């Protein structure tokens, strides 16, 4: 029938949802499923240049590692505080991208350090003697 909201299917006619709704539902479903395929490892490394630390020497890598460790702890603390105060969504929206970037930078730095056979964390040295 021309001008009708009903379309004939294989077994006769069947009511169809308005075209806008089905497309919108399909879009939301696709976006939801797209996020499922990305692990935290993937998303954090997507934002970092893998060769970023290639020109660094071991002592520079170790110094940068300390900075990244401190930044990661700060961001994690901020997200935890936001969650404890009931603002988990705001905390995630505000800090998550930076947190993922720091994790990606840490992985790139670790990879470079391993290739160069560098130690990122200095061996523990005590100023006390064991008695």
Q: List the chain pLDDT tens, one digit each, 131 residues.
A: 555 455 554 555 555 555 555 665 555 555 444 444 444 444 555 567 878 899 999 999 999 999 999 999 999 999 999 888 888 888 888 899 999 999 999 999 999 999 999 998 765 555 566 65
- Tell me if residue 38 falls in helix, strand or coil: coil
pLDDT (0 to 100) of residue 12: 55
Residue 61 backbone class (left: φ over 0; alpha: ψ -120 to 50; beta: rest):
alpha
pTM here is: 0.58
pLDDT at site 33? 47
Cβ 61 vs Cβ 116: under 8 Å: yes
User: Is the residue at 95 inside a domain?
Assistant: yes
Q: Whole domain around residue 97: which residue ranges?
A: 56-116
In this structure, is residue 21 part of a structural domain?
Answer: no
pLDDT of amino acid 41:
47
pLDDT at 69: 96
Assigned domain for 41 exists: no
Q: Is residue 96 part of a domain?
A: yes
3-class DSSP assignment, residue 14: strand
Per-residue pLDDT, 32: 47
Task: Give phi and psi for 19, each to the nearest 5.
Answer: -55, -35
89 within 8 A of 78, measured Cβ to Cβ = no
Q: Into how many domains does the chain fold?
A: 1
113 Rama class: left (phi>0) / alpha (psi -120 to 50) / beta: alpha
CA–CA dist 56, 93 (Å, integer) = 32
Q: What is the pLDDT of residue 48?
A: 79
**Is residue 98 domain-resident?**
yes
């Amino acid at each position: 029938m021309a001008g009708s909201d009903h379309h004939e299917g294989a077994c006769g006619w069947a009511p169809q949802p308005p075209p806008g709704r089905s497309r919108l539902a399909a879009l939301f479903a696709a976006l939801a499923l797209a996020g499922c395929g990305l692990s935290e490892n993937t998303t954090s490394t997507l934002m970092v240049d893998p060769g970023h630390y290639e020109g660094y020497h071991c002592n520079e890598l170790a110094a940068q590692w300390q900075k990244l460790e401190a930044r990661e702890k700060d961001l994690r603390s901020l997200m935890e505080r936001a969650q404890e105060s009931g603002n988990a969504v705001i905390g995630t929206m505000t800090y998550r991208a930076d947190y993922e970037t720091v994790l990606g930078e840490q992985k790139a730095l670790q990879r470079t350090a391993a290739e160069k056979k560098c130690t990122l964390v200095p061996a523990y040295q005590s100023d006390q003697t064991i008695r």
